[in-house]
Amino acid sequence: MKPGLAIGARGIFRHRIGAAHTVPALYPEAELFQAMPGVFATGYMVGLMEWACIEQLAPYYEDGEGSLGTHVDVNHVAPTPPGLTVTVETEVTAVDGKFVWFKVRAHDGVDQIGEGRHQRAIVRWEKFVPKAMAKAEGGGVIARDRMGAN
């Protein structure tokens, strides 16, 4: 990781919520999800918080680096219907070697919908990808071409 990422550094990320981000879309094969309201899914909210943190970290990646989520501790306290834009605010709270901790907060323009903390690990893709592929092969799974990092 390049130097310069400081504790207290903040970021803002916005994304418009569509029908593809709702509970029924999370696992279309899950019958019980299909019976639930079409509101922003917690799983997608967590993913959006991760995306916001990735965007904040991206300028600090060395060539061949990226980051992976290693810890999530967030609440989801209000529904968001499709069409609203969710704003995620991030703040770096700790940098410990390859680990970066963030405070995250999400708002849909009407309500605060979630907040908590998230940790990411800075990784070198050339080390990570072969380990993941070996795990897939050991488990009898053919590694898909998406396993490679960009």
- Where does the pLDDT of residue 130 fall: very low under 50, low under 70, confident under 90, or very high at 90 and above? very high
- Does 148 reside within a domain? no
Range of the domain at 113: 10-124
- Does 141 reside within a domain? no
Residue 144 pLDDT > 80: no
Domain CATH for 27 = 3.10.129.10
- Where does the pLDDT of residue 2 fall: very low under 50, low under 70, confident under 90, or very high at 90 and above? very high
| Domains of the chain: total | 1
Catalytic residue among 15, 42, 91, 93: 42
- Does 132 reside within a domain? no
Structural contact between residues 107 and 98, judged by C-beta atoms closer than 8 angstroms = no
Q: What global pTM score does this model have?
A: 0.91
d(CA 115, CA 52): 13
Catalytic residue among 21, 22, 50, 118: 50
Is 42 annotated as catalytic?
yes
Is 90 annotated as catalytic?
no
Per-residue confidence (pLDDT) for residue 137, from 0 to 100: 82
- Does 39 reside within a domain? yes
Catalytic residue among 76, 87, 89, 91: 76
Taking the CA atoms of residue 124, residue 92, residue 69 and residue 51 in that order, the dihedral angle to the nearest 10 degrees is: -100
